[in-house]
Amino acid sequence: MKHAFGSERVVLFSYFLILILIGTFLLSLPVAWAGSDGLKGIDALFTSVSAVCVTGLITVDTALYSLFGQFIILLLIQFGGLGILTFTTVIFISTNKSKKVSLRNLQTVRNFYLDSIEFKAHHILSNILILTISFELIGTLLLFFKFRSSLSGAEALFYALFHAVSAFCNAGFSLFSDSLNGYASDPVFMIIIMGLIICGGLGFLVYNDIINVVKNEKKRLSLHTHIVLKTTAALLVIGALLFFVLEWSWTGNEMSLLDKIMNAIFQSVTPRTAGFNAVDQNSLSAASKALTIILMFIGGSPASIAGGIKTTTFAIVFLAIIKGADSNGRIRLGDRAIPSSIVSRGMLFLGKAVTLLISSIFLLTITEMGKGSATSFFSIVFESVSAFGTVGLSTGLTPLLSLAGKYIIIVTMFAGRVGIISMTIQLFKEHDENIVDYPEEEVLIG
């Protein structure tokens, strides 16, 4: 069984590596680039990794790619965004003649869907694809009506499709050189983008749970759904209020009250692994940048396209710190309790995430510090968290990275998207592993 799960990790990593290499090759073709100077191989690789890992960090302007290159980026975002959720399911379907998930493989999928998962793998896959295509088509249609006033019909349609997919997949790629800064005063446009970002970051289990309750197939929402919805709402509201106060006389001093409110809300939404800019991130106050870093680190929710440590991990760790666990290691929440195994997994997941992030920050301080004001320690931390959380927001450091720095960010994006998710694939332990019981001994804490 350990060998089986090890093989699944290899297949998972291989899928993303192959997708990245194909993307790098296609983006390296002369037909993919429309800029005056040729595209460097490292920049093609960086763009490919950023698109597949749905991050959005760029070393070259996406607008400089040709229509062919932009279409390749769009495909990389789509396949990368859905790859984590659908790839293992496709493997299960193709290797299981009964079209059902075997008990051995069920644990892998349960890491994304919990114990309420459907046993029919093709049903899981179809639900994911239907919901994804539906959201993206609705987003494309709404954005098309916004773009057609300034762009031609075909161009408006492509721009609408690109930004709808990028927003729902929480990728943050934009065909505009200034990201979405030009739409900072367009509340309708920003609401559409924010809606797609939030919908892409909630997780397919939440949608499945809500649909079952609406159809009266379940009496109430699961604890998972409650935690996701309440944590997401709390982070959005608290974040928006703080940004509104912190940026009242900074970024928003020339905005109307409505624009200030809308941009505060948008700034609270986009760090949740989306990465679109409506205001220059480098112009934000230090406090706002710190708040953005916190939101980027938390990210979206499990079983979604979003990155970060996830809302449930944050909620469980936060509750463990504030409320503490009972004698059995469980955390009580209302009339239900979170098992000690889930609490331990959340702590372990957080620990590994912090370790990876610290490693990235440390290496970047070696390769990038002392190369100008844009490479301050604060900007390095911001860039590392953005890459790890697959967000894509930047204070301007990314285009200035050294060759070594670009490779560090590439590895950080890959680890934040693929590596940290693969950690959640739990290894099955043989029954005889727990036969021996070792004596306990106390260790001082604090």
C-alpha–C-alpha distance, residues 9 and 87, integer Å:
11
Model pLDDT, residue 126 = 78
Model pLDDT, residue 437 = 67
Residues in contact with 96: Cβ distance below 8 Å, sequence separation at least 6, in sequence order: 102, 105, 121
| Closest-CA residue to 381 (of 280, 293, 298) | 293
CA distances to 127, 185, 437 from 278, in Å:
32, 9, 57
Model pLDDT, residue 94 = 47
C-alpha–C-alpha distance, residues 307 and 418, integer Å:
10
Please name the amino acid found at residue 391: V
pLDDT tens digits in sequence order for the chain, 446 residues long? 455 445 667 777 888 999 999 999 999 999 999 988 889 999 999 999 999 999 989 999 999 999 999 999 999 999 988 776 665 455 444 444 444 555 445 554 454 444 444 545 566 677 788 889 999 999 999 999 999 988 888 999 999 999 999 999 999 899 998 889 889 889 999 999 999 999 998 888 788 888 888 888 778 888 889 999 999 999 999 999 999 999 877 655 678 888 889 999 999 999 988 889 888 888 888 999 999 999 999 998 887 788 888 899 999 999 988 888 777 778 888 778 888 888 888 888 888 899 999 999 999 999 988 766 567 888 999 999 999 998 989 988 888 899 999 999 999 999 888 876 666 554 333 344 455 667 877 777 66
Tens of pLDDT along 317-354?
Answer: 999 888 887 777 788 887 788 888 888 888 888 888 99
Residues in contact with 384: Cβ distance below 8 Å, sequence separation at least 6, in sequence order: 357, 360, 361, 364, 409, 412
Residue 163 structure tokens: 């930004």
Beta carbons of 343 and 349 less than 8 angstroms apart: no
Please name the amino acid found at residue 409: I
| Closest-CA residue to 165 (of 47, 291, 73) | 73
Give the rounded distance of the alpha carbon of 139 from its chain centre: 19
Model pLDDT, residue 128 = 82
Within 10 A of 377 (CB to CB), how many other CB atoms are there?
12
| Closest-CA residue to 306 (of 441, 145, 190, 420) | 420
Tens of pLDDT along 243-300?
Answer: 999 987 765 567 888 888 999 999 999 998 888 988 888 888 899 999 999 999 999 8
Beta carbons of 392 and 57 less than 8 angstroms apart: yes
Beta pairing partners, 336: 333
C-alpha–C-alpha distance, residues 223 and 38, integer Å:
52
Tens of pLDDT along 52-73?
Answer: 999 989 999 999 999 999 999 9
Please name the amino acid found at residue 104: R
Model pLDDT, residue 307 = 84
Beta carbons of 276 and 180 less than 8 angstroms apart: yes
The domain segmentation of the chain, as residue ranges, is: 2-430
- Three-state secondary structure readout of the chain: CHHHHHHHHHHHHHHHHHHHHHHHHHHHCHHHECCCCCCCHHHHHHHHHHHHCCCCCCCCCHHHECHHHHHHHHHHHHHHHHHHHHHHHHHHHHHCCCCECCHHHHHHHHHHHHHHCCCEHHHHHHHHHHHHHHHHHHHHHHHHHHHCCCCCHHHHHHHHHHHHHHHHCCCCCCCCCCCCHHHCCCHHHHHHHHHHHHHHHHCHHHHHHHHHHHCCCCCCCCHHHHHHHHHHHHHHHHHHHHHHHHCCCCHHHHCCHHHHHHHHHHHHHCCCCCCCCCCCHHHCCHHHHHHHHHHHHHCCCCCCCCCCCCHHHHHHHHHHHHCCCCCCCCEEECCEEECHHHHHHHHHHHHHHHHHHHHHHHHHHHHHCCCCHHHCHHHHHHHHHHHHCCCCCCCCCHHHCCHHHHHHHHHHHHHHHHHHHHCCCCCCCCHHHHCCCCCCCCCCCC
C-alpha–C-alpha distance, residues 291 and 225, integer Å:
25
Name the burial class of residue 226, with classes exposed (0-12), middle (13-18) and buried (19+) by CB atoms within 10 angstroms of its CB. middle
Model pLDDT, residue 387 = 94
C-alpha–C-alpha distance, residues 264 and 244, integer Å:
5
Beta carbons of 438 and 363 less than 8 angstroms apart: no
| Closest-CA residue to 252 (of 228, 288, 224) | 288
Beta carbons of 130 and 221 less than 8 angstroms apart: no
Model pLDDT, residue 418 = 80
